[in-house]
Amino acid sequence: MLKAILHTRPSRQLDTIFTQKDLQRLNGTVEVLWGKDEEMPQESWTQAKKEASILIGIPRYGVGDVDEKAAPHLKAIMEVGGAHPRRELVDYETCFRRSIRVLSCAPAFAKMVAEFALGHALAALRNIVDADQKIRRGEEKWGWRGQADICTLYNATVGIIGYGNLARELRLLLAPFNCKLHAYDPWLPDTYLEQQGIKPMTLEALLQACDVSFVLAIPTRENRELLNRENLEQIKPGAVLVLASRSHLVDFDALIELANAGKFRATIDVYPEEPPPPDHPVRRTENTVLTCHMAGGIDPAFYRIGEMVTDDVEAIAAGLPPISMQVAQPEFVARR
């Protein structure tokens, strides 16, 4: 039986990511070393690595050596969060050389974020958040004449900025609305998008054309403030921008300034500083829907983490490649 080191950190305790059923599956598949809600002492870790085939959870002091001597049986390093570990924590080069897979649980969050992004888009397009506040203040407008600027997703032109896990799930949710889908993703060949019925576009053309645009790209060195002031000014008047992945992607000050000025509507779940300071102007922005980094991190996503980890432990124990988690690719590691 293969051995796996399992330990967690405060925000991912065992009972928040593993159901009883999955823990049983896990214990039936590998011999679990440590297996506690606290970090293994570094010395024990170094010792246990000599026996372990799978490491689940990355310690704060880093994985350390993963060469043939330090970790002779190692096959996989599994991060129980949504992103691959930082390069300070894992020696990726040695992992790639030895075909040790470094895995994240990014796909666990994709459905939850897609649903939330759709909820944001509908809340903005159909004025749901705004109407609720006005009714509570006695300021709402009745009758269809009050709804002049209201739009619908049906038959809308929709843009997706960054076409990865999140976008693939969002596409499924948008399917019944019969939208025209456009995407901007410099990492994907046009034909890949076209095969999925999506029209590739430059960022500028997308912002000008779309009734709703979803910012779903993961942050890289290259896409900081991809949506700078100049690009934000291209957004179609009255359109909705859904900022769902990371604030890293936008010039946040320009975003709230332009939303306040009524150039477009924005929905925001992520902020440059979280929480934003009590007096940060974003808290008083108009034409916005604001939530507090709630898109992905809800219970079903966390239990999906445990399920994915257990799936891939089973696969590796059976001599098969992992199937559920996301494997780190050298090219993306190089760009971080």
Q: Decide: is 189 part of the binding site for its own copies (CB under 8 A).
A: yes
Alpha carbon distance 38, 277 (integer Å): 31
Q: Decide: is 99 part of the binding site for its own copies (CB under 8 A).
A: yes
Tell me how far, at minimum, the Cβ of 200 lies from its own copies, in Å. Answer: 12
Tell me how far, at minimum, the Cβ of 6 lies from its own copies, in Å. Answer: 17
Q: Which is nearer to its own copies, 40 or 308 (CB)?
A: 308
Of 111, 182, 246, 265, which one interacts with its own copies (CB under 8 A)? 111
State the number of binding residues for its own copies (CB under 8 A): 87
Tell me how far, at minimum, the Cβ of 43 lies from its own copies, in Å. Answer: 31
Q: Decide: is 297 part of the binding site for its own copies (CB under 8 A).
A: yes
Q: Decide: is 176 part of the binding site for its own copies (CB under 8 A).
A: yes
Of 232, 310, 325, 326, which one interacts with its own copies (CB under 8 A)? 310
Residue 158 pairs in a beta bridge with: 181, 212
Of 140, 208, 225, 336, which one interacts with its own copies (CB under 8 A)? 140
Closest CA to 266 of 245, 242, 231: 242
Tell me how far, at minimum, the Cβ of 46 lies from its own copies, in Å. Answer: 25
Contacts of 150 (CB under 8 A, 6+ apart): 125, 126, 127
93-130 burial code (b ≥16 CB/10 A, e <16):
ebbeebebbbbbbbbbbbbbbbbbbbbbbbbbbebebb
The span of 49-57, 83-91, 186-194, 256-264 binding its own copies (CB under 8 A) equals: 186-194
Q: Decide: is 18 part of the binding site for its own copies (CB under 8 A).
A: no
Interaction residues for its own copies, span 233-292 (CB under 8 A): 274-275, 278, 283-284, 289-292
Q: Which is nearer to its own copies, 88 or 154 (CB)?
A: 154
Q: Which is nearer to its own copies, 126 or 229 (CB)?
A: 126
Q: Decide: is 205 part of the binding site for its own copies (CB under 8 A).
A: no
Burial of 144 (0-12, 13-18, 19+ CB in 10 A): exposed
Alpha carbon distance 235, 209 (integer Å): 8
Cis omega (within 30 of 0) on the bond before 275?
yes
Question: Which pairs with CB-CB distance under 8 Å and at least 24 residues apart come from 310-315?
Answer: 310/18, 310/22, 310/25, 310/26, 310/29, 312/76, 312/78, 312/103, 313/4, 313/26, 313/29, 313/30, 313/54, 313/56, 313/78, 314/25, 314/29
Interaction residues for its own copies, span 144-173 (CB under 8 A): 144, 146-148, 150-155, 172-173
Q: Decide: is 311 part of the binding site for its own copies (CB under 8 A).
A: yes
The span of 53-61, 135-143, 228-236, 254-262 binding its own copies (CB under 8 A) equals: 135-143
> Do 14 and 310 contact (CB within 8 A), yes or no?
no
Q: Decide: is 128 part of the binding site for its own copies (CB under 8 A).
A: yes
Interaction residues for its own copies, span 46-75 (CB under 8 A): none
Alpha carbon distance 26, 307 (integer Å): 9
> Do 266 and 214 contact (CB within 8 A), yes or no?
no
Tell me how far, at minimum, the Cβ of 131 lies from its own copies, in Å. Answer: 4
